[in-house]
């Protein structure tokens, strides 16, 4: 009898334990799970088991537990298919790169395309040098024609070439350089012949790249002459080009640029002249501006002749250049391809000059004093007793908070805008103001070696005709890597 009771008790305990363990399992299997989907670029529609569940990523989707089939669709990109097993009460997170529709995938040995096999034909021992060389030319022409025809038919495709890993700890916030290690496939290493490069990205884009992951796919495209046209990664909707590759080989060396983050700021001054009023808020997008004024050496590298009066060395700012001269220099520079240069707008120049702090001078509100050591960025005073006798080498005057040198001193600087004495009344609240649509004069900003401290103010505006030149007038550049 006692054995029977013990047996019943044993079965009851065992049944209770089974219920204790089975009930949570049933809850997990019968409940709902959550999946967080993040794509680069964002904006992909999410289909689950053939049904539209979300119009755009990133998104969190709550779904019944079990095996679910996902499709991510975005115009211009390949459809991405995958399956996930969801458990009740569990959240899964998945990050993915979307592959552009025009990409041709390739393994280690590369796409099987004749135009990538850059091999000279085998020489016939019976042919002369001229006959062989003619055949080499014909072979190359045939290969390039095949490439041209392929590009035309395939819509200028891009090829998957490997990946880059971000060297996160080495991002240079001043220049906007984000160094990368290139991990190529065998065939792409033969074509690109490099393993290190860098991206030009502002701080916001650098953070996005950082968030998207350590590694990013690399794509390349070919020009019709068989050379690499571009090598790039894709983040969001932007192509970020690897510097020193393809059309981005032509970078003018030694021209340092500083990345300026976009911002809204107060332009003009109630303490200034009539054409500096009214004070008004404007906004500028991120941009890169020259750390120094364009030098005589840089000018001669592009233009051949030196127009400057003070020829004291290649690192002195170029002067005696008109606004039109600056445009010719920029046109020749841009013809080299890859990177676009221009003069800064008035708004970009003033924001850069103030270093984001809004002072009367690049270094703040302190009046310039007579100091030969140039501790505060200028060595002039209102009595003109400390004026120099010409330009100094670039970087002689201390940097402001944006690490920009010579924003007061050395030479005045041309900017892009037409001059309008009352333009500030019209530009209140504008984003990226570019000045009047037309005019007789162009704007000059900043003070020079020949002027008193009162003319070193950040908000001072002067103007002249586009053919005006002087030995205290030069310029610096804004650069757009893409």
**How long is the chain?**
482
Q: Across the strands, what pairs with 233?
A: 240
- Return the higher-pLDDT residue of 93 and 5: 93
Q: What share of the chain has pLDDT > 70, as a percent?
A: 77
Q: Tell me: pLDDT of 471 over 80.
A: yes
Q: Tell me: pLDDT of 89 over 80.
A: yes
Render pLDDT for 6-25 as a digit per residue (tens, 0 to 9).
665 556 655 555 555 444 44
Q: What angle do CA 151, 157, 160 make, to 5 degrees?
A: 135
pLDDT of residue 465: 97
* Mean pLDDT (whole number) for 294-302: 92
pTM for the full predicted model: 0.56
Handedness of CA 298, 300, 301, 302 (dihedral sign): positive
Specify whether the CB–CB gap between 455 and 445 falls below 8 A.
no
Nearest to 193 by CA among 246, 148, 152: 246
pLDDT of residue 76: 77
pLDDT band at 441 (very low <50, low <70, confident <90, very high): very high
Residue with tokens 């969001």: 236
* Mean pLDDT (whole number) for 47-69: 92
Gap between the terminal Cα atoms of the chain: 90
CA distance 228 to 220: 7
CA distance 325 to 419: 18
DSSP-derived 3-state class of residue 114: helix
Structure tokens at 27: 């809850």
Contacts for 53-56 with beta carbons within 8 Å, 24 or more apart? Answer: none
16 phi, psi to nearest 5 deg? -65, -40
Render pLDDT for 341-360 as a digit per residue (tens, 0 to 9).
999 999 999 999 998 778 88
One DSSP character per residue, 257-316 reads EEEE--EEEEES-TTS-GGG-S-EEEEE--EEEESSPPBHHHHHHHHSS---S--S-TTS
Q: Tell me: pLDDT of 53 over 80.
A: yes
Nearest to 97 by CA among 164, 50, 197, 188: 164
DSSP state of 6: H
pLDDT of residue 415: 97
Structure tokens at 270: 């109630």
Structure tokens at 12: 């009851």
pLDDT of residue 153: 53
Residue 355 gets the label, from left (phi > 0), alpha (psi -120 to 50) or beta, of left
CA distance 408 to 18: 82
Structure tokens at 109: 């040995």
Residue with tokens 């790249």: 209
Q: Which of 98-107, 224-233, 273-282 has the highest mean pLDDT?
A: 273-282
pLDDT of residue 220: 84
pLDDT band at 167 (very low <50, low <70, confident <90, very high): confident
Residue 176 gets the label, from left (phi > 0), alpha (psi -120 to 50) or beta, of left
pLDDT band at 380 (very low <50, low <70, confident <90, very high): very low
CA distance 437 to 427: 12
Structure tokens at 220: 């390349």
Nearest to 249 by CA among 304, 203, 193, 305: 193
Distances (CA, A) of 12 to 3, 5, 15, 16, 384: 14, 11, 5, 6, 104
pLDDT band at 372 (very low <50, low <70, confident <90, very high): very low
One DSSP character per residue, 349-390 reads HHHHHHTTS--SBTTBSSPP---TT-TTS----TT-TT--SS
CA distance 417 to 437: 9
CA distance 39 to 74: 10
Q: Which of 63-77, 208-222, 444-458 has the highest mean pLDDT?
A: 63-77
**143 alpha carbon, distance to own chain's centre:** 34
Structure tokens at 398: 């201390």
Q: Across the strands, what pairs with 238?
A: 235
Q: Tell me: pLDDT of 381 over 60.
A: no
Structure tokens at 127: 């042919």
CA distance 475 to 323: 9
Render pLDDT for 230-286 as a digit per residue (tens, 0 to 9).
788 887 667 787 877 766 654 444 567 887 877 899 999 988 899 999 999 999 988
pLDDT band at 26 (very low <50, low <70, confident <90, very high): very low
């Amino acid at each position: 009898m006692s054995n029977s009771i013990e047996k019943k008790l044993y079965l009851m305990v065992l049944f209770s334990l089974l219920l204790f363990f089975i009930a949570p399992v049933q809850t997990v299997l019968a409940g709902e799970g959550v999946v967080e989907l993040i794509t680069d670029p964002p904006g992909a529609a999410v289909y689950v088991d053939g049904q539209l569940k979300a119009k755009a990523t990133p998104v969190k989707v709550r779904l019944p537990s079990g095996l679910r089939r996902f499709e991510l669709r975005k115009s211009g990109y390949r459809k991405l298919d995958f399956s996930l097993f969801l458990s009740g009460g569990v959240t899964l997170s998945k990050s993915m790169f979307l592959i552009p529709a025009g990409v041709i995938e390739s393994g280690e040995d590369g796409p099987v395309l004749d135009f990538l096999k850059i091999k000279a034909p085998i020489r016939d021992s019976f042919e002369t040098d001229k006959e062989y060389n003619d055949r080499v030319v014909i072979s190359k022409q045939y290969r390039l024609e095949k490439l041209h025809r392929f590009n035309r038919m395939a819509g200028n495709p891009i090829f998957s070439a490997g990946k880059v890993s971000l060297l996160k700890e080495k991002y240079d916030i001043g220049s906007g350089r984000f160094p990368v290690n290139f991990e190529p496939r065998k065939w792409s290493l033969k074509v690109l012949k490099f393993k290190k490069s860098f991206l030009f990205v502002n701080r916001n884009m650098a953070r996005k790249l950082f968030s998207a992951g350590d590694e990013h796919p690399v794509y390349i495209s070919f020009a019709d002459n068989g050379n690499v046209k571009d090598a790039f990664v894709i983040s969001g909707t932007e192509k970020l080009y690897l510097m020193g590759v393809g059309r981005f080989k032509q970078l003018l060396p030694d021209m340092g640029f500083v990345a300026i983050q976009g911002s809204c700021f107060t332009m003009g001054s109630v303490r200034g002249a009539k054409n500096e009023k009214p004070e008004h808020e404007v906004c500028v997008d991120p941009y890169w501006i020259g750390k120094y004024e364009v030098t005589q050496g840089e000018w001669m590298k592009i233009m051949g002749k030196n127009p400057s009066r003070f020829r004291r060395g290649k690192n002195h700012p170029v002067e005696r250049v008109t606004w039109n001269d600056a445009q010719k220099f920029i046109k020749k520079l841009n013809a080299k391809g890859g990177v676009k240069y221009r003069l800064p707008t008035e708004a970009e120049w003033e924001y850069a000059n103030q270093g984001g702090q809004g002072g009367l001078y690049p270094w703040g509100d302190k009046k310039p004093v007579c100091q030969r050591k140039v501790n505060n960025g200028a060595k002039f005073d209102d009595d003109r007793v400390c004026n120099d006798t010409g330009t100094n080498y670039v970087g002689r005057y201390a940097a402001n908070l944006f690490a920009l040198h010579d924003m007061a001193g050395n030479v005045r600087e041309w900017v892009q805008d037409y001059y309008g004495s009352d333009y500030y009344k019209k530009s209140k609240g504008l984003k990226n103001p570019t000045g009047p649509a037309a005019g007789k004069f162009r704007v000059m900003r900043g003070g020079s070696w020949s002027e008193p401290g009162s003319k070193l103010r950040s908000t001072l505006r002067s103007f002249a005709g586009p053919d005006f030149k002087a030995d205290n007038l030069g310029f610096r550049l804004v650069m757009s890597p893409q």
